[in-house]
Amino acid sequence: MNARLQLPSSEAVAGSAAELLTVLRAAPPLVQCITNSVVTGFTANVLLALGAAPAMVDITGEAGLFAGISSGLLVNLGTPTPEQRAASLEAVGGANAAGTPWVLDPVAVGALPVRTGLARDLLALSPTVIRGNASEILALAGRTAGGRGVDALDGTEAAADAARELAERTGGAVAVSGPVDLIVDAGTAIRTANGDALLTRVTGGGCALGAVMAAFLGAARQTGDSPVVAAAAATLVYTIAAEDAAQGAAGPGSFAVRLLDALSAIEPAGVAARARVEVAAAVTA
């Protein structure tokens, strides 16, 4: 990791978010998404609106090959069919062999045995970033049985130690989504406070953020930003756009459409100016 990113300032994280958005739009990253059937179209549209190029390559025989040429990979366990389970492992193998950064979204792990077993197999392959809600992160770390399906039953800060533990185990970063998002690696804890509650009322709001993180990891290969900064930058851009989308939205339906427009319209300078971010050293409680 670049020494200057061991403990970046809040201003540096906001500046990196603006820079990474600029780089992403100048050279659109190709983002492979192995994601759940409920959110495929919304996730692809979010990436397109932002300026990235989505590719939903999720079948065996192709997934590993494609991961080798992608800029970033998302593995989301929302609907883990047998084909997707095999494709996920194949894709991660291809990504690791090629040095492609990848995001693990362990949707609803804990009480459900198939996805929980797969998540732990994937965890052993060292994801670049893990993104989930607090209950998912706690369950993945083996500390609880998980939440109520995709819904978190725990607050973000309750998962802080588990997130840091997972980051140390993988050598990457862990992003815990909530009213205040927490993004950590072994030494850094970044908290971001942008966003709007309407994100929780749109199917795929969190899943699409995992894809955005994969896109920002692809851009970070050009800038040298660390995974924890790239994940925080993705969170800031996405949640600031959500604030814009909520202005004038009549409810979840119009918010979802407005979010695509807001992601397309968001400017790097606005991200840097509006970012609500705090940085601290990650410590054991």
Whole-model pTM: value is 0.94
CA angle 194, 104, 279 (to 5 degrees): 35
- Listed by start position, the domains of the chain span 8-281
* Three-state DSSP string of the chain: CCHHHCCCCHHHHHHHHHHHHHHHHHCCCEEEEECCCCCHHHHHHHHHHHCCEEECCCCCCCHHHHHCCCCEEEEECCCCCHHHHHHHHHHHHHHHHHCCCEEEECCCCCCCHHHHHHHHHHHCCCCCEEEEEHHHHHHHCCCCCCCECCECCCCHHHHHHHHHHHHHHHCCEEEEECCCEEEECCCEEEEECCCCHHHHHCCCHHHHHHHHHHHHHHHHHHHCCCHHHHHHHHHHHHHHHHHHHHCCCCCHHHHHHHHHHHHHHCCHHHHHHHCCEEEEECCCC
Please name the amino acid found at residue 246: A
Q: Do the beta carbons of residue 282 and residue 8 sit within 8 Å?
A: no
Q: Does residue 4 surpass a pLDDT of 50?
A: no
Model confidence band, residue 53 (pLDDT cutoffs 50, 70, 90): very high
| Cα gap 66→91, rounded to integer Å | 7
Token pair for 285: 């409680």
Q: Does residue 63 surpass a pLDDT of 90?
A: yes
Is 204 annotated for ligand binding? yes
Is 142 annotated for ligand binding? no
Cα-Cα end-to-end distance for the chain = 24
Domain covering 8-281, topology: UDP-N-acetylmuramoyl-L-alanine:D-glutamate ligase (3.40.1190)
Q: Does residue 1 surpass a pLDDT of 60?
A: no
Q: Considering the chain, what is the average pLDDT of its residues?
A: 94
Mean pLDDT computed over 181-207: 96
Q: pLDDT, tens digit, for every residue of 168-186?
A: 999 999 999 999 999 999 9
Is 110 annotated for ligand binding? no
Mean pLDDT computed over 149-172: 85
Q: pLDDT, tens digit, for every residue of 107-146?
A: 999 889 999 999 999 999 999 999 999 999 999 999 875 5
Q: pLDDT, tens digit, for every residue of 237-273?
A: 999 999 999 999 999 999 999 999 999 999 999 999 9
Is 148 annotated for ligand binding? no
Mean pLDDT computed over 32-46: 98
